[in-house]
Amino acid sequence: MDSVMTGNTTDRINNALAALRSEMFDLRQQDGQLMKQLICINENIKTLSKRPIPARPIRKRMSLVKGRRKFINPNESIPEEDSSSADSDSDDSVSGTENYQ
């Protein structure tokens, strides 16, 4: 009976070790995949950090040009008859305070 119990115990231990080996193999494969992804992410970060950064953020303002709202650069000039500023208090239709009835 002792030999049967010893054989049964040995089988359980061997099965548990085989399961652990299999799990460790899977974990190693996953580690390799994650390492490749991290290396790729690191390279992308390096590439992005090498790009020139503009001296200041580009700002735009909204103006009405030929009857349409349009974003323009602050230093861009538009003929006076073609434009009106979107932040003007005198033009309710541009500022978004129209009365709908």
pLDDT per residue over 74-89, tens digit each? 666 665 655 444 444 4
Residue labelled with tokens 């974003």: 71
Q: How far is CA 11 from CA 2, 14, 22, 23, in A?
A: 14, 5, 16, 18
What is the model's pLDDT at position 21? 98
- Average pLDDT over the chain reads 77
pTM: 0.43
* pLDDT digits 0-9 by tens, 10-57: 999 999 999 999 999 999 999 999 999 999 999 999 999 888 876 776
What sign does the dihedral 86-90-96-98 (CA atoms) show?
negative
Q: Where are the alpha helices (DSSP H) in 1-101?
A: 2-50, 92-95
35, two tokens: 């390492």
CB 54 within 8 A of CB 48: no
Query: What's the rounded Cα separation, in Å, for the pair 24 and 99?
Result: 70
Query: What's the rounded Cα separation, in Å, for the pair 74 and 72?
Result: 6
What is the model's pLDDT at position 39? 98
Q: Name the least confident of 7-11, 25-29, 59-63.
A: 59-63
What is the model's pLDDT at position 8? 92
Domain boundaries, the chain: 1-53, 61-95
* pLDDT digits 0-9 by tens, 31-41: 999 999 999 99
Of 51, 57, 72, 64, give the one whose Cα is nearest residue 94: 64
